[in-house]
Every structure is written in C-alpha cells, then in structure tokens.
Structure 1
Amino acid sequence: MNKITDSHVRDWIEHIRTQVSTVNMGIWSMGLQCTLDGTAEGMLFASSLRRIQGALQVAERELVETARCYQPADH
C-alpha cells in the first residue's frame, strides 16, 4: 500500500482549489448575465447563484481542511 505523502496532499488541495475556481467563474458569468437581463426572474436567479457561491466557498474550506488531515505527521 502506498503511503500518502505531503506532495499528495498539496496536489489534492491544488486540484480542489482549481476545480472550485473554475465552477465559481462559471457561476459568476451566469450571475452577471442574469443581472444584466434586468428581469425579476434574472435577478432572483442571480441571487440564488450568489448563495451557491457562498456554499461553494464553505465546501472548499472543508475539503482543504479534510485533505490537510492526511498530511504526514512529520510535516
């Protein structure tokens, strides 16, 4: 069985942050389009997207904290 190394954990954290950033940019773009739409529905959808972004930030922090739990003790 392979040991989890500090390098593995750093790679996981980088991957998590990259994926979250990509999703966040897509959400931001959709939210901007909805806001520029100017309709009540568009504004409501943009508001929902902002809440999703907040939840995504919380999830990112929790994923990074979980990954750090696997860092070798000698780090």
Structure 2
Amino acid sequence: MLKRSLKVLIAVVLSLMFTVSLVKIVLLIWSSRPAAPHSAPPLPTVDEWLESENLASYKQLFRDKVKRKK
C-alpha cells in the first residue's frame, strides 16, 4: 500500500513539473514573438502610472515602509 501511494505521489509531482515546464516554454515563445501592428500599446508600469497620476509621493511612502520592515 505504501509503495503504491509513493508511486502515485511521484507520478503527480512529475506531472506537475512537466505542466509547469510546458507553461514556461509557451510563455517564453509567446513573449518573444513580435507584436502585431494592430495590437494595443503596452500597458504602463506601476511607476509610470503613478507619475502620470501625480502620485509619485506614494511610491516613496511604500519604499520607506518596506525599508522599515527590514
């Protein structure tokens, strides 16, 4: 019984590892292909959005909060 459970557990782990690897490969290929000319412009990063909304002071506030936690 223990041997069978161990085999099933190993099969599940290997299946998950294969799935994760496959997803990584697909994402790598997807991100490396050139964008279509009619595609939407890239979304701004968080820093760019904060600056465009005049919220750059909040950016510094969160950085200070992270420094205090360390």
**TM tier relative to shorter chain:** 0.3 to 0.5
* Structure number having the greater helix percentage: 1
TM-score normalised by length of structure 2: 0.45
Q: Which entry has the higher C-alpha Rg, 1 or 2?
A: 2
**Which structure exhibits the higher relative contact order, with contacts defined as CA atoms closer than 8 Å and separated by 6 or more residues?**
1
TM-score normalised by length of structure 1: 0.42
